[in-house]
């Protein structure tokens, strides 16, 4: 039986986060975006509401809800701004959920529990200056030394790098093994040799943090290795199955923001003696946003449903992320068009939506990576 309805618990959650975003994020976003300011009190308030570990089991300090509850949180937060959804994506989707799946009981107690409660923030360190789409080509080295590993290298484009208490870092124990040498480590910010610096000059997500992580002779105890040596690529890919899901869900919220802004403006603005919503070319843009919104949402909830069943969902999540991010980008570009010259200025939020939407089409697998993955699945080259 197909059931397209949200449960009463999910509807309550949606209403809670929608009100939260309307009160705590949206009214301030223009200023925060202009000042390149990430407001940490928003994260503390999210933690207070139990939203930093929404789908982590209660026994590990989370709210014990399902994957589609996480999608709801991400969608509603991104309606306010991409920055706060990104924080939840890396903290919950890429870091906490990965420890839940791959971590030891000791790692769960030391890191997952405080992260689920929102007492610590997590980030994800895969990408490097010379390894983005080609994730198996990372150069950060991990060399075993007694009961520790010594890590050296640099990670780039790391969301929340400057705020995270711990980073799930991927390094290679043997570059000759290519992706089979990749190994995952929990690296605390406080470990000697760890430093971070923010990246300036980004096109969008001005209200969020993106940084570089530098690892100089960082001694990481063996208890902080996640999985075995060589498991890192699979761990990173399984983390991305969750991270991409949160990006797709966020894209749904961004598209809804574009649609709502466009509908409101289309009623307010008059040309040729009537509101512009009466003009068919404006209607075409709004109809495309509506269709894209509905379709993206279905793809996200289907991927979430598969996750809830514990079924491998790389294919469906990749499709949801690819499709929903493209829809958000196209919707943002059209939302500016609907607003005309006003849309080109920051008097309206749609220019911010467009700058933010571009990140969705690039991070956690570019449009091109997902296009290739979908083609390979369809052609039977990938299972
Ligand atoms: N779960 C478990 N195992 C998986 C897996 C998954 N989801 N995906 C792949 N694997 C396993 C495969 O089974 C395979 O195992 P064997 O070696 O035992 O056969 C192994 O991993 C290699 O898999 P593939 O053959 O699929 O590897 P590939 O080289 O073809 O993959 C790729 C290439 C799909 C392009 C992959 O490199 C990729 O997804 N690249 C994009 C990376 C990316 O999204 N980066 C974003 C970084 S995060 C970010 O943006 C940070 C931020 O702060 C927001």
pLDDT in tens, the chain (383 residues): 788 899 999 999 999 999 999 999 999 999 999 999 999 999 999 999 999 999 999 999 999 999 999 999 999 999 999 999 999 999 999 999 999 999 999 999 999 999 999 999 999 999 999 999 999 999 999 999 999 999 999 999 999 999 999 999 999 999 999 999 999 999 999 999 999 999 999 999 999 999 999 999 999 999 999 999 999 999 999 999 999 999 999 999 999 999 999 999 999 999 999 999 999 999 999 999 999 999 999 999 999 999 999 999 999 999 999 999 999 999 999 999 999 999 999 999 999 999 999 999 999 999 999 999 999 999 999 99
CA distance 17 to 30: 20
**In terms of DSSP H, where are the helices of 97-165?**
97-102, 105-107, 113-116
CA distance 80 to 196: 27
| Strand boundaries in the chain, DSSP class E | 122-125, 141-145, 148-159, 166-172, 182-188, 194-198, 210-221, 225-226, 270-271, 274-275
CA distance 125 to 353: 26
CA distance 331 to 325: 10
Q: How many whole angstroms from 270 Cα to the centroid of ligand 1?
A: 50
Verify whether ligand 1 is closer than 6 Å to residue 348 (CB atom).
no
Verify whether ligand 1 is closer than 6 Å to residue 373 (CB atom).
yes
Residue 64 bridge partners (DSSP)? none
Q: Are 29 and 80 in contact (CB under 8 A)?
A: yes
CA distance 212 to 195: 8
CA distance 347 to 161: 30
* Active site residue ranges: 364
CA distance 298 to 315: 15
Verify whether ligand 1 is closer than 6 Å to residue 213 (CB atom).
no
CA distance 225 to 231: 10
Q: Is 374 exposed, middle or buried (0-12, 13-18, 19+ CB in 10 A)?
A: middle
Q: Are 32 and 38 in contact (CB under 8 A)?
A: yes
CA distance 112 to 270: 53
Angle at 148 between CA 146 and CA 153, to 5 degrees: 125
CA distance 259 to 79: 11
For residue 104, report the phi and psi dihedrals to the nearest 5 degrees.
-80, 165
Verify whether ligand 1 is closer than 6 Å to residue 232 (CB atom).
no
pTM greater than 0.95: yes
Q: How many whole angstroms from 231 Cα to the centroid of ligand 1?
A: 12
- Ligand 1 atom, smallest distance to 123 CA: 53
Max CA separation in the chain (angstroms): 79
């Amino acid at each position: 039986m197909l059931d397209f309805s949200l449960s009463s618990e999910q509807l309550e959650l949606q209403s809670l986060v929608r009100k939260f975003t309307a009160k705590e994020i949206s009214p301030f976003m223009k200023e925060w975006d202009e000042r390149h300011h990430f407001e940490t009190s928003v994260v503390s308030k999210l933690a207070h509401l139990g939203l930093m570990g929404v789908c982590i089991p209660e026994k590990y300090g989370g709210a014990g809800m399902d994957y589609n509850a996480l999608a709801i949180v991400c969608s509603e937060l991104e309606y306010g701004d991409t920055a706060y959804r990104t924080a939840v994506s890396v903290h919950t989707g890429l870091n906490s959920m990965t420890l839940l799946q791959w971590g030891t009981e000791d790692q769960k107690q030391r890191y997952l529990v405080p992260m689920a409660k929102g007492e610590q923030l997590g980030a994800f360190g895969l990408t490097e200056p010379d390894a983005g789409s080609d994730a198996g080509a990372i150069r950060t080295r991990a060399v075993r030394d007694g009961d520790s590993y010594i890590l050296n290298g640099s990670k780039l484009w790391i969301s929340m790098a400057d705020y995270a208490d711990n980073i799930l870092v991927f390094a290679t124990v043997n570059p000759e093994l290519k992706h089979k040498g990749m190994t995952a480590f929990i690296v605390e910010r406080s470990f000697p040799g760890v430093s971070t610096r923010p990246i300036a000059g980004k096109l969008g997500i001005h209200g969020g943090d993106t940084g570089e992580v530098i690892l100089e002779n960082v001694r990481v105890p063996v208890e902080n290795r996640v999985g075995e040596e060589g498991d890192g690529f699979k761990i990173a890919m399984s983390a991305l199955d969750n991270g991409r899901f949160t990006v797709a869900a966020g894209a749904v919220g961004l598209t809804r923001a574009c649609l709502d802004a466009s509908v409101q403006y289309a009623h307010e603005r008059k040309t040729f003696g009537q509101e512009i919503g009466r003009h068919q070319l404006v209607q075409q843009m709004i109809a495309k946003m509506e269709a894209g919104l509905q379709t993206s949402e279905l793809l996200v909830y289907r991927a979430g449903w598969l996750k809830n069943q514990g079924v491998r969902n790389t294919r469906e999540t990749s499709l949801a992320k690819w499709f929903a991010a493209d829809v958000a980008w196209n919707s943002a570009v059209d939302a500016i068009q609907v607003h005309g010259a006003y849309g080109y200025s920051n008097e309206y939020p749609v220019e911010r939506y467009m700058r933010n939407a571009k990140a969705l089409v690039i991070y956690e697998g570019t449009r091109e990576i997902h296009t290739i993955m979908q083609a390979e699945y369809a052609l039977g080259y990938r299972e």
